[in-house]
Amino acid sequence: MKGNAHFYHRGWFARVSSDKLWMGFFFVWVFLLTGILDFWIQTPGLKQLWRVSSMLESRRQEIDGVEAKTALLSQIYRELQENPIAQEREVRKVLGYLGDQEVVFEFSGR
């Protein structure tokens, strides 16, 4: 065992302090986090963080649009439930119904 411990104290490893070694690991880690080497080694880095952040922002905007549309449809739903005039208007518009005493004149060209 003592022979193996002596091996580590010879060579380049003995000349590098542990602080320099940790700083080297730290700089390599930070370099990999930048995402510069993303094309070659597929590291998740800052580029992925930016992509995910922009995707999150677009999803939030999409959610805001859907919530606005849901609020509008809820308002129309309540109006159709409570207001008979609105119900009649929608039935006429969608199904093409006529009221009592109504006549439709259809003019078509030849």
Specify the pTM. Answer: 0.45
Residue 14 CB contacts under 8 Å (≥ 6 apart), including other chains: 8
Instruction: State pLDDT tens for residues 73-84.
Output: 999 899 889 998
Instruction: State pLDDT tens for residues 61-103.
Output: 999 999 999 999 999 899 889 998 888 888 888 887 777 777 7
Find the length of the chain: 110
Residue 5 CB contacts under 8 Å (≥ 6 apart), including other chains: none
